[in-house]
Chain A
Amino acid sequence: MSATVARSSTARRAPSGIGARAARAVNNGLIVARRNILTLTRVPTVLIFELVQPIMFVLLFRFIYANNIANLPNGFPYVLFLMPGIFIQNAIFGATTTAIGLAEDMKEGIIDRFRSLPMARSAVLVGRTTFDLAKNMILVAIVLVIGYVVGFRFSNGFINALWMLVLVMAVGFTFSWICACVGLSLKKVEAVQAATFTMIFPIVFVSSAFVPVVGMSPFLQVIARNNPITHWCNLARYLAVGPGAIVDPVTHLPVNSFHSLVFLSVIWIVGLLVIFVPLATRLYRRLT
């Protein structure tokens, strides 16, 4: 084994030690994210349609729903209620590209190339979700501009507005990992596309994203009140426009205190990440 080992000794070895491994993981994740950015710029039509979609949602809801629902039962302007929900909805819809992107890379054999390379096992998923997070920021920025055009205004201070954006990003990032699991499990692009939308439509609609939960049928109300998307939308509203948007129309009291909203929102995000990040990583390692 002499000749070959001599050649190997010139090759690099896997880093040992937690610090070196973490540094490699971050570095590799960024390399993959950069590759995703390059890919996106080479197929601009994909980006254009992804940007058009949120604009379409804002306009549809603003001019169909908001023209019918001028104000909430407590007199709160509907457009201020709607827009934070639209931010959350866009972050979640935007995250589906994680699933579709992974399925496409599997189909093309690019994931196999990555898996044969001596890179951090987390890098493909971290790179993908980080890239989708960055892309989600652009989407949210666009929705924000459109929102301002159609009458939305932040009215609970600059810091709270920033926290709302952080919340929206965190929700999108969390869903990216859920979608990564869907993509890695189903593998086929068409199946992944159908599955993510079938999963995401009902859970977004059966929440307070677009309309107050109180108007739903009793059965749906039970689901909607316990849907994390309801908590996230309500927290986003609280941060964006103050407590007026989340008061109970009957009692005129906030449906949740600010602290309980923060608590519920954070618990759900952390809980879902704790489940889906390791699950996605495991699915990736065990791909066939």
Chain B
Amino acid sequence: MAGGSIIRTEALERRFGTVEALKGIDLEVEAGSVRGLLGPNGAGKTTCVRILTTLLLPTGGRGEVDGLDVVKDAEELRYRIGLAGQSAAVDENLTGLENLEMVGRLYGLSKSEARARSGEILERFQLSDAGDRQAKTYSGGMRRRLDVASSLVGRPDILFLDEPTTGLDPRSRVDVWAFVRELQADGTTILLTTQYLEEADQLADRITVVDVGKIIAEGTSDQLKDQIGGEVLELTVDDTAQTWAAAEALQGIGTGAPNVDVDDGRIRIPVGNEGAEALRESDRRLDEQKIKLSGFAVHRPTLDDVFMALTGHAAEDGSEPEPEEKQKRGRRGRKEKA
């Protein structure tokens, strides 16, 4: 293994029937770092994580985690990784403690070791008081904490978090972020998938952007944002029938192609650091064309803007909570039609 790469894939591919979920992923993740895998539903993030955690066999290419092949050395590898999030679950009928003890026993710990380790982890995740309650009585945030807690029972060197905050309220999301940082401070390598640019921004040392089974960009959060061009100007046309006319009039403003949503009359333009200037110029030109605006804003780029800038198409359902894990075939189906 060259350099400090602890996760490495070469031309990783996975087909489901005729659908190519992964079309050749080359990934290198440095030991001890947090890597964000950013992309919309159906991009292939979960498929990638499932292959790296030995849940799914690749149909092409190869993957290596901690020097172990994800296919040939799967059994040995499972001792070194933890998986939490959309791809794995806790048993809701068991208590928090029973869940963790079971996982500990399956890692080969003795009964007393498993109990001690479970108590320690419950404490760390502030679940001690709820340890004797069935997981189905937990709030969404507590359940996610228990889920991540389960993945840490075996003291993994590499942790995979598959959309760890999808469907969580903002407070719980911040909690998840806090322990991701803590784990990284302990030296754990973390690969996390997310649909939220902000999340990748907050947590990841480097971000890999994936779309329809391919890596379309990689870099630090700043590098990616520079690529997108700083801020985004968002204008909402009052009469949606005039949207195209407005977009026409705005030609040449900003640093990239405008993203036009005809249904909502919304036009988004990457404007770099010239937000105020671009807004003045837009206002002047639209006024000339007698096109009225019902709203405007200058803001930081969102996932949608990243996708617009990198792929020329909008991120699909970027803000919608990921449907149930098992529906991913359905999601791919939709994607294919799109």
Residues of A within 8 A of B (CB): 1, 3-5, 7-8, 10-14, 24, 27-28, 31, 34-35, 38-39, 42-43, 106-110, 112-119, 123, 187, 286-288
Contact = CB atoms under 8 A, between A and B. Distances in A.
Contacts of A113: 83, 88-90, 103, 150
Contacts of A110: 89-91
Interface in B74-126: 75-76, 78-83, 86-94, 98, 102-103, 105-108
A123 B187 CA distance: 32
B57 interface: yes
Given A1-B1, A1-B6, A109-B325, 20 more contacts: A3-B32, A3-B187, A7-B155, A10-B155, A11-B155, A14-B75, A28-B106, A31-B106, A34-B102, A35-B91, A106-B326, A107-B326, A108-B91, A109-B87, A110-B89, A112-B55, A116-B87, A118-B78, A118-B106, A288-B16
B189 A13 contact: no
Contacts of A4: 6, 31-32, 66, 157, 187, 189
> Quick one: which of B93, B107, B150 has the most chain A CB within 10 A?
B93
| Secondary structure dominating the interface of A | helix
B76 A31 contact: no
B179 to A, nearest CB: 18
| Secondary structure dominating the interface of B | loop
8 closest cross-chain pairs (CB), A and B? A109-B89, A118-B78, A42-B93, A113-B88, A116-B83, A119-B106, A39-B93, A118-B79
Given A1-B31, A4-B31, A13-B76, A38 B93 contact: yes
Contact of A24 (B91, B108, B155): B108
A210 to B, nearest CB: 36
Nearest to A285: B57
A283 B157 CA distance: 29
B56 interface: yes
B98 A38 contact: yes
Interface of B: 1, 4, 6, 16, 31-32, 53-57, 66-67, 75-76, 78-83, 86-94, 98, 102-103, 105-108, 134, 150, 154-155, 157, 187, 189, 325-326
A193 to B, nearest CB: 16
Given A4-B31, A4-B66, A28-B106, A116 B93 contact: no
Given A1-B1, A4-B157, A117 B103 contact: yes
Nearest to B54: A116
A59 B291 CA distance: 80
Contacts of B75: 14, 118
> Quick one: which of A7, A42, A115, A118 has the most chain B CB within 10 A?
A118
B88 A112 contact: yes
A199 to B, nearest CB: 23
A173 B81 CA distance: 34
Contacts of B93: 38-39, 42-43
Contacts of B98: 35, 38
Nearest to A114: B106
A115 B103 CA distance: 11
A39 B94 contact: yes
Given A1-B67, A113-B88, A12 B108 contact: yes
Nearest to B188: A7
Given A8-B66, A38-B94, A108-B89, A14 B57 contact: no
Contacts of B80: 8, 11
Contacts of A14: 75-76, 79
Contacts of A1: 1, 4, 6, 31, 66-67
A35 B79 contact: no
Contacts of A108: 89, 91-92
Nearest to B101: A31
B94 A42 contact: yes
